Structures are given as C-alpha cells and as structure tokens.
Structure 1
C-alpha cells in the first residue's frame, strides 16, 4: 500500500493556521490528481486544496478543525484504482469496496460521481450564508456548480423564489438550521451558539488590535456634492459608451484622496517599529462587504490610474470578493483605506484604522440639507466625511488639512481633473 500524506501547505507569510471549512469529496472516495478535495478558510480568503495524487481519499481532519501549517489533513491510498473505488454514494456501506465492479462498469461510475458526488447539494461558503439568512433548506436547491455544488447564484435564485412563493415555506419544517433561526412562538427566548468563522475571528482580532495599539482619533467635515453629481449626470452616457462602465462616486473620491495623499505623505505613511515608512505611491484599500465578512482589497497606484481603470478594477474586486474568489496576492498591500457606510444608510460613523495603515476615510449617505450659500438658504446634497487617523504619526493639523483638501477637490472637481 502506497500512502501520500496531504498536509496544509504554506499559504502566505502571515498565515499560520487555517480552518477546514468543508470537504468536497467523501471519505473513501476515489479522487484524481489536482482535483479539489476540501476548502480551507484562512484569515483572508477561502482556498481549495487539490489532491497531490490519484487514489482513495482517507480523512484525517474533520470539518471545522483549526489546522496549523504543515498539519496532516488527509491521506491518499494510491494503490486503489478508479475501478476499485466506491462509485455509488447511495451505498455508504464499506462492503462496496470489496465488491468492486468489473471494468466494463467504469463508464457508469464517472457520471454517477459527477451527478451525485459529495459536492452535490453542498453550498459554497457565500451560498451557505445566503441560504441561512433566507431560511432556505439547501436540500431544496438544485446546484448548478461543479459536481452539483450550490453556487451563490443558485442561492440567490432560491431565496427570490421563496419570497415570491411563500406557500412553499411550511414544507421544510424538518430542517434544524431553519428551525434554529426562525422564531416559532412569539416571545420565545431560545438561544443558539455557532462557532465563529476564521475570517470573523480575524476581523475581530484586527479591530481590537487597532483600537488598543494605535492612538486613534477621528476628525469630521461635510462636503457639498452638487458639482460631482452634475458632472456625473452630464458625462455619464459618454463615459459608459467609451469605457463600458459607469462613473461612480468611488473613483472620484479615490482620485481626490490620492491627490491629497501625495501632497501630504504623512497620512500615506505607516509606523515600522521605530521608523516611519513613507510611500511615493498610493495604494487604496476599499472596504467590501461579503457574506462571510468585510474584506479590504487594494487598488495599486491609484494616483496614476484613470477613473475608468479604477471603476473597472473596483467592479472586478467586488465581484471576486462576494464570490469568495479573491487571491492572497489581491488582498496584500494598501497605504490608505476608504469605506462607504452610506450604501447601508449610515449618516455618520467613526471608522477603525486598517493596520498597519495610518488613516481611513469614511464616506456616508448623501442627504439633501438646507445650507447657507452666498447669504441664501438653499438645498444641497451633503455628505459627512470622517477621517480616522493614528495620532502617533499624523498630527491633528495634518489630518484636518487633509480632509479639507479632499473636501475642496470634491466641491470643485474640475480642479481635480485638471490636476490643480
């Protein structure tokens, strides 16, 4: 018997442990080389773990286990061939291994494994959260992904169908997850406990670290977006026709921040032990909400990119983040962060610094408010801006000057486009 040990590989410099989020293949199932056998959830992303050889899969770790780098995950018995491996998931009894079918039945084993493999009916991490929040039983969803796996799109359609057809809700009372999340009796005081995902634990640890290890303060201002809104309205159609993407607020805010950051390098710097690390470039991290938590992938050299390039890249990163497809390289770096709570209706907040960066800009909801302009009361679209910064490296005067500079560029965007 030849056994290949499958161990947690080195994923990244800062990652020392992963969580086995779910198996994609059954224990004892035949797997081919490079075929994904399980998913790891790291501090930053969800990764598939491919088989290093073909053979019979033997579980060592269990779903939900926290595994250090180099820990044994599974074994693969390479002496077992595809014809000798159990081909029918409906017959889990171990006797199926000894009753190996003749070679002529091999063509039947492949479609069976494809249509009814362990992945069949199992949601991806993003899809699982959508189904739980929508109170939909995964058993009622037909997966269209690889090996019948439930994708994010499948989950969204299932939740939409459930909303449009409420009569189907009572047909799944046996689902324990649904019962656990759905109040049955008014006034009920039931509780439930769920293990925090690795990403949620990482987010929690980083937020606490930022609060405890930095001298964080927040300064506020407000910006009149009349000219930005007029500019977008005037040139939107031409912009879309030329670049195939809309001119959004985020690219304009990013370019305003990049210009101000290049003018005030202290806000773009970070502390490195007893040194200050300055950057002659601006890599802006954008906070993106996903079903599994908040991620902040950066866009590099924003100071040198066009508005359309920022919008295209941001759209790409947002799609990858929500589908759990961001790579570790795409999560690295960043010298400054922008977060937009306005998309959720936030009027004002104090964002927390994204370490090791030294500052973060918080955008908020745009509200029509009465303002005094040239002695007259007029209604203007206003947004509150919040800049949280590390007072160890950024002085109060610098933070206020930076935010005022961003405000000036946004209230007169022509100066931004003309690089004045």
Structure 2
C-alpha cells in the first residue's frame, strides 16, 4: 500500500500518548505538534485510527500545502489542486478553517476563499458545481493556516472522535471521553487490568471514567457504535477494507468478554447523575459489566470478592466558588481515608484543577502529569495506597481563597 500523511488531533498535553497509540495502528510519527501528531502510513492505518483511537479528536488525511500570505495567494494555491479526487461529482462539502495571519485575520474569510477555490476548480474543468452543506456534507475539507502556509486535508473522522455515541446524557462539567482515556493510560490501567486488577471511581458523575475503563479492559473499539465516518462518501474510500476492520472490531469485542472481566464500579452521592450513568452504561453495552450506585465518598465500601490490586481513579469537583473550595479539603481527606480503608495495595489517581488539595489525601504523590480539562489547567496526581506513602493530611489555609504562593508550595512539596 502507498503511504499517506495524516494529522491526528488530540487534547493538549496528550500528544506523546497519542503518538504511541498511533504506532500500534502502523502509523509512524513524523513530528509532534501542539494538540496533535503528524504521522505517515497506509489508509488502513488511518481507518484504524478512526475506529480504535481512544485519544484522538480528528484524523485528517493530508492532501497538500500551499502558500497563503494573502487571500489571493491562498485562493491561487487551492484552485490549482485536483479536487475531483476528493469531492464526489454532484456531492457536497464543507470547509473547516483554523488559524490566521496578518492578511487572513478571521476563519470565515479563510474558509470562504478555500471554498471559492474548490468550486472554481470544478467549474474550470467543465464539471457541475459541488454544493456546500454546512450540516451534513459528504466530505469535510480541513484547512489549517500556520504563518504563511495552509495545510489542506480531508477529515476522515467526520466528527470529533471523543464522541463515542454512548453519552447523550451527561452530568455537570463532564470529562470528555478521550481525556478520560488519557487519564486511564497515564494511571496504568491497561497494565493493571491485564494483571488481574479491578477499577473504582468513587466520584463517577455520569460514568465516563468507568465506561472508558471497561471498554479498554474488554478490548472494545471506541468507534464501534458510530454509524458514520467522514470518509464513507470520499472518492478514495475502500469499502472492503473498512468492512474487514469493522468485522475485526466485532470479533475482538466478543473475545474480550470471554476471559476474566475486572470488577468495575462507580459511585456518586448524587442519585440523579447515577441515573444518567446507568443510561450511558446501557448505551455502551456494558450493563452486565459495570456497576454504579449512589453513595458518598466517606461511605465507600466494596462488597464481595475484589482483587487485591487495582486502580481508583476519580475527577473530584474543582471548587470554582469560594464556598466550594472551603469544602475541598474535607472531601479530599475523606477520599484518602476511604481508599486507605477499602483498597490498601491499590493505586489512586486524582485528576484535579486544585492540586494544592492533594496533601489533604494523606498520601505522598509519586507522579504528577500536567494536562488540560478543556482550557482549564489541571494535574493528574498518582499515589500508591500503602504505609510507605502515608503522610499526615494537610489542608491549605483559605482566608479568602487559596493564594498562588500556597498552591505552589504545596505542589512543589508533593
């Protein structure tokens, strides 16, 4: 198979994890970029990324790069490209545009010039004018401007791949699915699950972490339930290759349930979000695999036969209001007490926008990863739940709010 170049986007801070994941699909890293990775490989590798990537947002098939120091120069580069290879005759398309420079100062103008170039190329060839469909196009053309160069490609994914299809209902401030998957990977869940460990999220909200943990452990493709991808009406699409990959994903999902299935549970004190979590679990086809129920952190108990190794991973409230931040120290201390009581010997991961409260857990963090929850800076703190890591819980003083000095001292001491 001939090699193609792809730009695969992801949440900021996840680039190196994504590069490692893409290599398992046969895609070789060309270079990392902010919130994405450039890779090369076969179209099959691109299809696998659409179906199997737990971390990607979009998979862009790179077509060409043109000079774009002005609107006219951009147009001239676009109009000389062979767009009939990529947009079906009598088909529809839409342009997504990112970036700006001194001459092209807004994305609407940039997208319009790209659209004009594509349409004029079709008409210059004597063909029918393709239609522009903003809502449901056959093909999405991706245009990314960086300084004076415009990268053009076809969005093979067609939608952000973090949307797996199981989460139509969600709680407040939901964690995106691909960020949840990144946290699980950073916390070592694939290795823990393979070694016979179990999983718990004691503040599970709408259940994203526990669903993603189950899909990983059972080798379920995150794109398995998607009805449509962006390449299916692209003229270069290979339906037989795609069908074989879908069949492989179904076989692996079936085989994933044949061996030992880890125990996986989520808890939350809000019974309403637990109701939402159950709906998400059912849509993911995991109702006999994942258990969730309403229970406060300080009442955490694990009944039945649980492994002596496992992962507790959770995303506590960030305490955006001052009254909420005053309660965070007690919440984090309750979390520390609960894991020390219920799961000694396990690993604990806490993804937080208030890392200064990590001291309140009463365990010494051995690893910290800086990530973003949307645009909000956050950290994943990892702890081993054992006596060696134990320390006296300490809550930051909050006279009015946590000062940057206190926050930095806490973080540095961790």
TM-score (norm 2): 0.25
Which is greater in Rg? 1
